[in-house]
């Protein structure tokens, strides 16, 4: 069964109408391979993938100069984030979102506290040792993200025996 993602679902009709025509249509791509879980959720190791352009302090930040020069695109690279990341150790590099919310509560973009609660309650087996961030605003050219970053993130998750990745879109 094909799933359709409505990018304006939570934006409201005014914003959808005002911005809908200004943002280029996403390129066509093969259908998303939706897969059922191979085992019960309570037996799954879970990682998070944020689209907020998060990096650890001291790591290379996402390229905001590229984003400024190409306002309909973002940096297509990715960053690994440890499971003990906090507001004090994370930097948000993204011109298309208000990063102030993330600076006050990391759970807005990387809900690690909620994930830890699920593990403590036995809803999931455990929290993965690493989580990942990309810059979600890719405009009409996500080829680098799809061809390089996504496979690298998937390989990193496989190496840490991640069973389920949750997308934390911002």
Residue pLDDT tens, the chain, 170 long: 556 667 777 777 777 777 776 666 666 667 777 788 999 999 999 999 999 999 999 999 988 888 788 777 788 899 999 999 999 999 998 888 888 899 899 999 999 999 999 999 999 999 999 999 998 877 777 788 889 999 999 999 999 999 999 999 98
**Residue 21 falls inside a structural domain:** no
Q: Is residue 93 part of a domain?
A: yes
CB 139 within 8 A of CB 72: yes
23 found inside a domain = no
Report long-range pairs for 119-126 (Cβ below 8 Å, ≥24 apart).
119/46, 122/42, 123/41, 123/42, 124/41, 124/42, 124/44, 124/45, 124/46, 124/164, 125/42, 125/43, 125/44, 125/45, 125/46, 125/163, 126/45, 126/46
For residue 78, being part of any structural domain is answered with: yes
Neighbours of 65 (CB within 10 A): 8
Q: Is residue 7 part of a domain?
A: no
pLDDT, residue 3, reads 64
Domain assignment of residue 161, yes or no: yes
List the Cα angle 130/134/140 in 5-degree steps: 155
Q: Which domain holds residue 159?
A: 39-168
Question: 106 in a domain, yes or no?
Answer: yes
Would you state the pLDDT for residue 15?
Answer: 74
Cα separation, 24 vs 73, in Å, equals 11
CA distance 2 to 90: 36
Question: For the chain, how many structural domains are there in total?
Answer: 1
DSSP letters spanning 41-67: GGG-EEEEEE-B-EEETTSPPP-HHHH
In a domain? residue 152: yes
Provide the 10 A C-beta neighbour count for residue 141.
15
């Amino acid at each position: 069964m094909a799933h359709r993602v409505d990018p304006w679902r939570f934006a409201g009709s005014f914003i959808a109408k005002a911005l809908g025509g200004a943002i280029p249509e996403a390129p066509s791509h093969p259908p998303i391979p939706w897969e059922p879980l191979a085992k019960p959720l309570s037996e799954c190791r879970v990682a998070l993938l944020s689209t907020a352009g998060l990096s650890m302090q001291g790591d290379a930040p996402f390229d905001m100069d590229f984003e400024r020069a190409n306002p309909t695109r973002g940096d297509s690279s990715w960053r690994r984030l440890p499971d003990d990341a906090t507001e004090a150790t994370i930097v948000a590099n993204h011109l298309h979102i208000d990063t102030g919310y993330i600076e006050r509560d990391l759970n807005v973009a990387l809900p690690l506290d909620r994930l830890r609660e699920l593990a403590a309650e036995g809803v999931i087996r455990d929290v993965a040792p690493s989580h990942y961030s990309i810059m979600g605003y890719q405009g009409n050219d996500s080829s680098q993200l799809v061809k390089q970053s996504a496979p690298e993130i998937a390989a990193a998750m496989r190496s840490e025996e991640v069973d389920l990745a949750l997308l934390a879109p911002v």
